[in-house]
Amino acid sequence: MSQFWKCAPVFFMIAFQCFIVLHYYDVDLFKLTTQQKYVGFLLNDGRLGNQLFHMITGYGIARTLNRTHYLPFNGWIEHVRKYLIRLEKVFPRLKQTYIFATNETKERVVPFAGSCCSYYDPLRLKNHTDQFLLLNFRFGHNPRYFEDYIGDIREILNFSEELRENASDLLLSLKK
């Protein structure tokens, strides 16, 4: 009996296990060649509350369009980054919901909303094929953009362990 046939059962068992794992995790090997798609909207010069609303609205629109939220590279990026550092200390999971574009990112600017508080259905952009869609609006203050994902947003906006411990210590010291 050749060496191959001695190892064949082990090889087939490993191949079968790989197939099961890929099937279980629903991995599509053909997706590895497709490009990830992103959506973002114009950065704003607002303060902490506006930046948090921007992040959550961006997350909701991205989820609706089956894309990843991205922050464009423009003049406000340093202003926004300053607030993101603060937000991520309080809500560490927020960092997993977006990426930063680079100066070389080729974006397709598309008209989106004329008002900060009105709702414009993002699904009308579903068929855009561009990798980076930049929505031409600054403030997305309508909760309808993210209300379908409120459970996920609650998870994203869980306070950091450090903040919870500090708050607990503070409350205990006030109790004394």
Distance CA 19, CA 42 (A): 43
Q: How far out from the chain centre does Cα 29 lie?
A: 23
CB 97 within 8 A of CB 156: yes
Query: What's the confidence (pLDDT) of residue 169?
Result: 86
Distance CA 168, CA 162 (A): 10
Q: Which residue has the higher pLDDT, 16 or 105?
A: 105
Rounded (to 5) percent helix, strand, coil in the chain: 55, 10, 35
Query: What's the confidence (pLDDT) of residue 122?
Result: 96
**Residue 78 exposed, middle or buried by CB count within 10 Å (0-12, 13-18, 19+):** exposed
Instruction: Give the model confidence (pLDDT) of 82-101 as tens digits.
Output: 999 999 999 999 999 999 99
Query: What's the confidence (pLDDT) of residue 116?
Result: 84
CB 158 within 8 A of CB 91: yes
Q: Is the pLDDT of residue 22 over 80?
A: no
Q: Where are the domains of the chain?
A: 1-30, 35-175
Distance CA 167, CA 159 (A): 10
Instruction: Give the model confidence (pLDDT) of 55-74 as tens digits.
Output: 999 999 999 999 999 999 88
Structure tokens at 166: 């500090």
Query: What's the confidence (pLDDT) of residue 106?
Result: 94
Q: Which residue has the higher pLDDT, 30 or 102?
A: 102
Q: Is the pLDDT of residue 17 over 60?
A: no
Distance CA 119, CA 122 (A): 9
